[in-house]
Amino acid sequence: MASTESASKDPLKEFYIPDYIFFPSPKADQVSGTPTCPVLVFINSKSGGQLGGELLITYRSLLNKNQVFDLGEETPDVVLRRLFVTLEKLKLSGDELALKIQERLRLIVAGGDGTAGWLLSVVSDLKLSHPPPIATVPLGTGNNLPFAFGWGKKNPGTDRESVISFLNQVKKANEMKIDSWHIVLRMKAPKEGVCDPIAPLELPHSLHAFHRVAPSDELNKEGCHTFRGGFWNYFSMGMDAQVSYAFHSERKLHPEKFKNQLVNQKTYAKLGCTQGWFSASLVHRSSRNIVQFAKVKVMKNTGEWQDLNVPSYIRSIVCLNLPSFSGGFNPWGTPNWKKVRDRDLTPPYVDDGLLEIVGFRDAWHGLVLLAPNGHGTRLAQARRIKFEFRKGAARETFMRIDGEPWKQPLPVDDDTVVVEISALGQVKMLAVENCKSKSVYDPSTPVRHEVEEGDSSDEEEGRKFGAADTFRMPDEVDISHLS
């Protein structure tokens, strides 16, 4: 480490975590000075073409290389397990610096929405009493998470000045809580053939937590295949997910063609045309419209399921947690006072325990989002939503969680498929001032929608994403008391 004198002149010392925090040694007492904004950086080196790798090199040159991690080499649950165990041991030995670092720690994750969702899921699973807030660097194609919290949607610069500028923004950023959502996918075991989701078990990041539940899991139901997972940004089903699936399939087959964000976005638009999303009324069978093969139910504040009236023309449904979808659009918009009064609708707060449910008939319908105050077909706001698929109506549909799509087989005979989404918990994000995301508790927001106390059950509080299944604290450390 640099000398105390040179370090005092280096503004980067504000973010620096000394070696002994990662590798405790008897020389720890030689460290002087306390970082005001210690950061842990996670980078998906494969995101953004070569940009992820370049960003990794720059961060490691500016900070302690031991506080910058390549997600292709180490998973976040392993890293955080090691760090928090070490911090806890140092705190117990009376180390004041370890205490300050844990209190002030901020996380940075660079990658696509799937990568960001992965880290958020891990932090959520750890159940820390004071979890560190998270800033997101946009390195993907959609970048909805970074955009919603003011970090932009274009790939950032990877040079020294750009990274230092971003670090300074992280230091000044505000903390904002964000809801997380639990999803259960249950299918009756078919008499013959396979009824598992085709792609989620192969997909990275956000869907790596989407897995089959164990026989001992409370969600397991005899005679059924049950999968569980979670999301932060959105769950969508229908033609938009079909286009996304085609894009991901193409990128998997020809990764060399997807090295540039602009090229990726153009390819995505082209696939939207070839998949019929812009000419759905001509090439899309009406039997594949949502209402023809799925029954949708919602739960508001009453605790009772209600049938959701979905217009017959809707070919895609999006369940939104953030006011950002498909590269930064806000499908919900801001309802005017008449809608608020007559339909009890609110702006899309990120911490109110409600999902915004929006429908689209085709890509042209989606273009209304380009207009001022444009929005999709507002269907409902709900604390829970359930999709029950009709047998024989269609052989498959497409689903997407936070940018990661898959092809979902549907019941053919007497089998059933049910998807149920419910509130799970919250984590802290870092937000730039005047960002798109708004809190229900912010007095400057135009309309408040009070969250009922005691709405979540004890059963929900015990759930997790499964993103940190490899996270195991030693027996002598009680993670519930980590601060």
Model pLDDT for residues 292-346, shown as the tens digit of each residue: 878 999 998 777 899 999 988 888 899 999 988 776 677 787 777 776 666 778 8
Each residue's pLDDT tens digit, 377-426: 889 999 999 999 877 667 778 888 887 788 887 777 666 788 999 998 89
Pure H helices in 178-335: 239-253, 261-274, 280-283, 290-293
Give dist(CA 62, CA 12) in Å, integer: 7
Give dist(CA 117, CA 108) in Å, integer: 12
CB-based contacts of 23: which residues, under 8 Å, 6+ apart? 66
Q: Which residue has the higher pLDDT, 114 or 180?
A: 180
SS3 86: helix
Residue type, 20: Y
pLDDT at 410: 77
- Lowest mean pLDDT of 73-87, 271-285, 362-376, 467-481, name the range: 467-481
Give dist(CA 67, CA 289) in Å, integer: 49
Nearest of 483, 370, 428, 399 to residue 92 by alpha carbon: 483
**What is the band of 203 on the pLDDT scale with cuts at 50, 70, 90?**
very low
Residue type, 25: S
- The phi, psi pair for 123, rounded to 5°, reads -60, -40
Spell out where 145-278 has E strands.
Answer: 174-188, 211-212, 224-231, 234-238
SS3 298: strand
pLDDT at 42 over 90: yes
**What is the band of 205 on the pLDDT scale with cuts at 50, 70, 90?**
very low
User: Is 0.85 surpassed by the pTM of this model?
Assistant: no
Instruction: Say which residue the tokens 């990128």 belong to.
Output: 251
- The phi, psi pair for 287, rounded to 5°, reads -65, -15
Structure tokens at 246: 């085609």
Give dist(CA 481, CA 483) in Å, integer: 6
Give dist(CA 361, CA 238) in Å, integer: 10
Structure tokens at 186: 């249950």
Give dist(CA 329, CA 344) in Å, integer: 23
Each residue's pLDDT tens digit, 144-174: 889 999 998 887 889 999 999 999 999 999 9
